[in-house]
Amino acid sequence: MDAFNLLKADHRKVEELFSQLESASGQAKMRVFEQIKMELELHTHIEEKIFYPALEKPKQTHELTLEAYEEHDVVKKLLQQMSKAKSATEEWEAQATVLQENVEHHVEEEENELFPKAEAALSEEQIEALGEQMEAEKERKQRGASKSSSKKSANKSASKSKSASTAPKRARASKKSASKSSSKSSGSKRSKKSAKKSRR
């Protein structure tokens, strides 16, 4: 697949998610944000790992590529801050607007400046090869993400069943210790009585 088409398809997907974010409310908004976060993390990963390194060397794309790395850093920091929130507060909404503006500016610069210069600097074979590498890396990351999420849910359910099975054990143990302590105290009362008798 052509590297530029792959990245443009990602851009359109994120644009669609941002419009969904604007119309969503409550917890639905947070769910849409999670999708945006996942898409942007995946997109920035394949660009930084495969696409940008190929554009750092050519003179005509060097500066724009370095700028793109910096823009990614701003987006990553915003995503990190926003993902800490449990609900969409006014502050969070403001951060979402800043995030969208940053992403839109970055996309515009990439598609109108970086991509045409990269197309001139790279051969058709290189563009195709980069696209295939990015596609493969994207699939690998997505597989890894789905595995880790299924692991997390499996661990959650396992810990739930564990705590459920240990609850009756705990209850039995506390009953035992209670009966032990009561028998101990009654035993000490008896020994005190017998000591009084022997004194007489």
Domain membership of residue 72 (yes or no) is yes
Domain membership of residue 182 (yes or no) is no
pLDDT digits 0-9 by tens, 101-143: 999 999 999 999 999 999 999 999 999 999 999 999 999 988 8
- Token couple for 175: 């009953």
Q: Of 36, 114, 113, 115, nearest to 82 (Cα)?
A: 36
Q: Of 114, 80, 126, 91, nearest to 11 (Cα)?
A: 114
Domain membership of residue 149 (yes or no) is no
Residue 196 binned pLDDT confidence (cut-offs 50, 70, 90): very low
The domain in which residue 118 lies consists of 3-143
CATH number of the domain that residue 53 is part of: 1.20.120.520
**Number of separate domains in the chain:** 1
Q: Of 68, 22, 4, 72, nearest to 42 (Cα)?
A: 72
pLDDT digits 0-9 by tens, 134-171: 999 999 988 887 777 666 666 666 665 555 555 555 55
Domain membership of residue 178 (yes or no) is no
Task: Report whether 79 contacts 93 (CB < 8 A).
Answer: no
pTM to 2 decimal places: 0.72
Question: CA torsion angle for 168, 169, 171, 177 (degrees, to 10)?
Answer: 160
